[in-house]
Structure 1
Amino acid sequence: INLLGTTLEGGGQLVRVAVGVSALTETPIHVTKIRGGRAGAQGLKQQHLTCVRWLSRASNARTLGAEKKSLELHFQPRGIAEDSLLEENIDIGSPGSISLTLQAILPILLFSPNPSSEPRHVTIKGGVNVDLSPSYEYSRQVLVPTLALIGLPLVKTSLGKREWTQKNQATGSVNYAVQPLPRGATFRAFTLQDRGPVTRVHATIISPPRYQSELQQHILSVIASYTKLSHLTFATQPTDDESPPVDFTLETPGSTKTTYVLLVAHTTTGHRLGTDLYLSKFASSSSTPSNSTHHNQHHGPNTTISARQRRSKRPPAHSASDNAATTDAAALPAFAERVVADLAAELAHGGAVDTHMRDQLVVYQALAEGRSYEEDGKDGGRRKAREASLHTRTAEWVCEKLLRGRGVRFDGLGGCEGCGWVVG
């Protein structure tokens, strides 16, 4: 199957999905102009190369072009090496995203036969919190529960070591335990719709201790204001005298001064929708409408923010000689409002999952038996409230190209007829 690397998103997503599906289904591929849609450096980066090499070994694949900066890749799998998948240590060799690496290798871990009844244990060393990629917290709190919600075995995660890669090349690690589907099994089609009202919001704050209490207060205050204005609604609306149902997890970032916030909305039906933000990225690009970290990479235009949020005063500009801590502290109120506004925007479309989660479900729709459906939202019943992102459309295009002969079809409305992949 020939794949032009400049198609749609034209970046690493195309490569990761293509090689992951190719390795599992033993479908030879030839990718040209790899990451040719990127304005900067093109070709395979270290993280993509790590995925290619690991999947090559796992599927006994012959490869040509599996080297850094390569613009072309031939990948010809010859069968799953089952015994080699029991316990793995994967070192990306750079602060490349651990979560994106997991996305590439997880299908083969879940859908290939396991000679043992024990889970497969994988440790990935690389970037734990990486700009423009899903964080460890997002993967643990949103991705893993959503995969369990659609019927896949629960993936257990634990943080080995956290390092922040915004300003340095340090690497951390994450441990995963993956229980594969039984040999001969198929994955039943799933439906995600009617997510139900939000019961609570869980906020994870990773920041220096001096910011934590203030951030909690600002987030609570903004959510309370949004609730009164009906920008955020809960299953049980708090009265004017009650605080909104928000709980917090607090963590210090170690030796760095990084501040990071993840907000996750929990619904009555078990759905989780999340959005996150780094203070450093917000402060450096506060002129943009939104800067949710992984949404920028995966979904083109930034999320629209509410009129109330646009009217909020931004912190005054600071000279280069100002103390960085003072600058960060001054930005906290607007930072808190931005991340709450992003969550409100994610909930406003009415879809069953957040925008970033949507593209991560595509491969599992393609592998499922029967028609799977993910509701993309409603707008008075007249039209879709949310168009598919470039990353979602790219993943759908790749899966159709590789699995069209097996009957895979996406309808462009959140539905997909899967191939009914049989494990083994």
Structure 2
Amino acid sequence: MADPTKDSRPDPQPRQHPRPIELDGCTLQGGGQLVRIAMALAALTGRPITIKNIRAGRPRGGGIKPALAAGIDLLASISGSTVVSGHVGATNMTFQPPPPPASISPTEGSLEIVSLSNLQVDPEYHVCLSTPGSTLLVFQILYPYLMHVATQSPTGYVNLRVTGSTNAVAAPSYDYAAQVMVPNFARLGLPKLSITLHKRGWASPPIEMGEMGFSIHPVSSLGRGNQTSSKTNPFPSIHIMDHERGKVTQIDITVLAPDVILPGLRMTVRKYIEDDMKRACQVLETENPSLFEPAADPDNPASPRRESVQIHTSETTQNNRIYLLLVAHTSTGFRLGFDAQLERRQIDKGKIIDIMASCVEGFLHEISDDPKLEDQLDADLGPVRRSCLDSYMRDQIVIFEALGKIGQAGPPDSRKREDTRYLSSHTKTAQWVCKEILGTSET
């Protein structure tokens, strides 16, 4: 006979994880960016992710690097997730967030951003890398999730400090982040983000550890006045092709170089680069007037001429280090940038000339359309144009485009289409990862 004091109702079914999504880490660009985006999306949506062949095609060896491992560890700690094989050198790993309150269907449009209930968030986190990994790459894996959960912090925002390199080859620099990334994030409707350089750090010998600080405000702080995707999705709807590039109104030049005089120079390396880069940018404006706003008001010849090229930052470095950044301000409020870095045991005039030429050439490519591509435009592509962002910034915004589409039916058919021939392998990889996990269309 059943005990009447006991509840005869069946026990509720335990919460279960949805089936993990499996990704091949060798796909397309196949670098750490693939993992960073996947981990951020897993934490935000509650979907377990398994990645194999992590960075397997890299010439210097595959597997998880220390900076990536550190970012994964902190992301898992804040979100309460479990990581299997997320250690340095691992080529296969699984990131398993806490089980959601309801099962998540893999059908497109059925995903939701995870709830913030019962989540504990500290006002400050500090990641201290043991090797000079990029501080910005650590930031990238944490930023989308911290932007969502920052409202749970006692202060209403989260401070993140990362010790590592601030200027490293093949990684974003502090200077690019401050002058290009942060203004563009704000222009596209993301919440307030402040970054601080506490100390410069360099990844090449002689190694110097630096530190950057990030003050991350919650996406919910945008308020209902901003266009969001749905009541359950606080991320703003971002449609890149709604924005025009505009004309270049100003060029900022950043020079980090030594104050030494080399054979063949009559001034310090830093002064030589400043003068030459300024002349080169003035020539760009003269030779490509269609890219620039007029320096003077054509309707008022007596009006003062706009100073369109200026030195933004100039700092002294050690004798073997040179860093250059060119940033174009546009009439539509965006920033387009291109940088170059040289770290050699010995530098000479020839190497200096080469890095300046490389920087100017890359910058011109970012602010102008490629005439070869324009000549080869296939009629089948229809009306397409380049986006309002430079090549590197374009891949940084992909995850936020995808997050804004959760709970959204999709952009109107009348939207202008992007010329995908300008997309980098990093951007295509980011779009692929977002589509595999979220089921969202690429653009």
Q: Specify the TM-score bucket, using the shorter chain as the normaliser.
A: 0.7 to 0.9
Residue 224 of structure 1 corresponds to which residue in structure 2? 282
Q: Please report the RMSD computed on the Cα atoms of aligned residues, expressed in angstroms.
A: 2.7
- Output the CA distance in 2 between the equivalents of 1:375 and 1:173: 41
In the alignment, which of 75, 82, 97 is matched to residue 77 of structure 1? 97
Letter in 1 for 2:193: V
- Output the CA distance in 1 between the equivalents of 2:49 and 2:158: 27
Question: What is the TM-score of this pair, normalised by structure 1?
Answer: 0.78
Q: Secondary structure at the match of 2:328?
A: strand
2:183 aligned with 1:145: yes
Larger-gyration structure (1/2): 2
Residue 367 of structure 2 corresponds to which residue in structure 1? 347
Check conservation: 2:258, 2:316, Cα contact below 8 A: yes
2:166 aligned with 1:108: no
Residue 133 of structure 2 corresponds to which residue in structure 1? 96
Residue 409 of structure 1 corresponds to which residue in structure 2? 441
Check conservation: 2:278, 2:311, Cα contact below 8 A: no
Residue 129 of structure 1 corresponds to which residue in structure 2? 167
- Output the CA distance in 2 between the equivalents of 1:34 and 1:256: 36
Shift of 1:342: 1.2
Shift of 1:122: 0.7
- Output the CA distance in 2 between the equivalents of 1:117 and 1:397: 36
- Output the CA distance in 2 between the equivalents of 1:254 and 1:218: 18
Residue 25 of structure 1 corresponds to which residue in structure 2? 45
- Output the CA distance in 2 between the equivalents of 1:166 and 1:243: 39
Residue 190 of structure 1 corresponds to which residue in structure 2? 238
Shift of 1:29: 0.8
Q: Secondary structure at the match of 1:118?
A: coil
1:199-278 mapped onto 2 (5 Å cutoff): 199-209=249-259, 210-230=268-288, 233-237=291-295, 245-278=308-341
Shift of 1:400: 1.4
Shift of 1:166: 2.1
Question: CA-to-partner distance for each residue in 1:153-191, whole Å, 9 max, x for gaps?
Answer: 121111111122222333110011111122866223123
In the alignment, which of 67, 72, 76 is matched to residue 52 of structure 1? 72
Letter in 2 for 1:364: F
Question: What is the TM-score of this pair, normalised by structure 2?
Answer: 0.75
- Output the CA distance in 1 between the equivalents of 2:278 and 2:392: 24
- Output the CA distance in 1 between the equivalents of 2:46 and 2:147: 15
Gaps of 5+ in 2: 1-20, 100-115, 222-231, 260-267, 299-304, 370-385
- Output the CA distance in 2 between the equivalents of 1:52 and 1:28: 13
Residue 393 of structure 2 corresponds to which residue in structure 1? 357
Letter in 1 for 2:360: V
- Output the CA distance in 1 between the equivalents of 2:288 and 2:60: 42
Check conservation: 1:207, 1:253, Cα contact below 8 A: yes
Question: CA-to-partner distance for each residue in 1:348-369, whole Å, 9 max, x for gaps?
Answer: 1353000001111111001114
Gaps of 5+ in 1: 282-319, 378-383, 416-424
Shift of 1:129: 0.5
Q: Secondary structure at the match of 1:386?
A: helix
- Output the CA distance in 2 between the equivalents of 1:376 and 1:100: 30
2:411 aligned with 1:391: no
Letter in 1 for 2:236: R
Check conservation: 2:50, 2:93, Cα contact below 8 A: yes
Once superposed, which parts of structure 1, at least 4 consecutive aligned residues long, lie more than 6 Å away?
Answer: 372-377
Check 1:376–1:391 CA distance in 2 against 1; reply closer, same or farther (3 A cut). Answer: farther
- Output the CA distance in 1 between the equivalents of 2:289 and 2:351: 22
Check 1:214–1:153 CA distance in 2 against 1; reply closer, same or farther (3 A cut). Answer: same
Residue 435 of structure 2 corresponds to which residue in structure 1? 400
Question: CA-to-partner distance for each residue in 1:139-164, whole Å, 9 max, x for gaps?
Answer: 11111111111111121111111122
Check 1:93–1:354 CA distance in 2 against 1; reply closer, same or farther (3 A cut). Answer: same
Residue 174 of structure 1 corresponds to which residue in structure 2? 212
